[in-house]
């Protein structure tokens, strides 16, 4: 690894705000990515980066709701 590679910082997307991220309810693999089609023990974005060497290309942030603090509308 050369000096330039050590100084390069890769921004791994925050899966918590991605539309493809989901909780699996499987205690062994609690986090999942619908776009990539896998479940993992770790953050899917980190798994993608570690296995491919590049940040996730399918990350899409969730849209903000116009309703404010009560997005589901339940009182």
What pLDDT was estimated at residue 5? 55
As a whole number of angstroms, the distance between CA 45 and CA 60 comes to 12
Residues in the chain: 75
pTM of the model: 0.71
Tell which wins on pLDDT, 3 or 20. Answer: 20
Where do the structural domains in the chain lie, given as residue ranges?
A: 3-52
pLDDT for residue 4 is more than 60:
no
As a whole number of angstroms, the distance between CA 15 and CA 43 comes to 7
The alpha helices in 16-55, defined as continuous H runs, are: 44-52
The mean of the pLDDT values for the chain is: 84
- Name the pLDDT band for 43 (thresholds 50, 70, 90): very high
Tell which wins on pLDDT, 27 or 65. Answer: 27
Q: Residue 9 phi/psi, 5° resolution?
A: -110, 125
How much is the average pLDDT of 3-21? Answer: 79
Closest CA to 56 of 35, 38, 70: 35
């Amino acid at each position: 690894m050369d000096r330039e590679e050590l100084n390069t910082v890769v921004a791994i997307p925050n899966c918590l705000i991605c539309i493809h991220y989901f909780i699996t309810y499987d205690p062994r693999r609690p986090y999942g990515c619908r776009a990539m089609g896998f479940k993992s023990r770790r953050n899917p974005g980190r798994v993608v980066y570690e296995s491919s060497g590049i940040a996730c290309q399918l990350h899409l942030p969730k849209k903000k709701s116009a309703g404010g603090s009560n997005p589901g509308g339940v009182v």
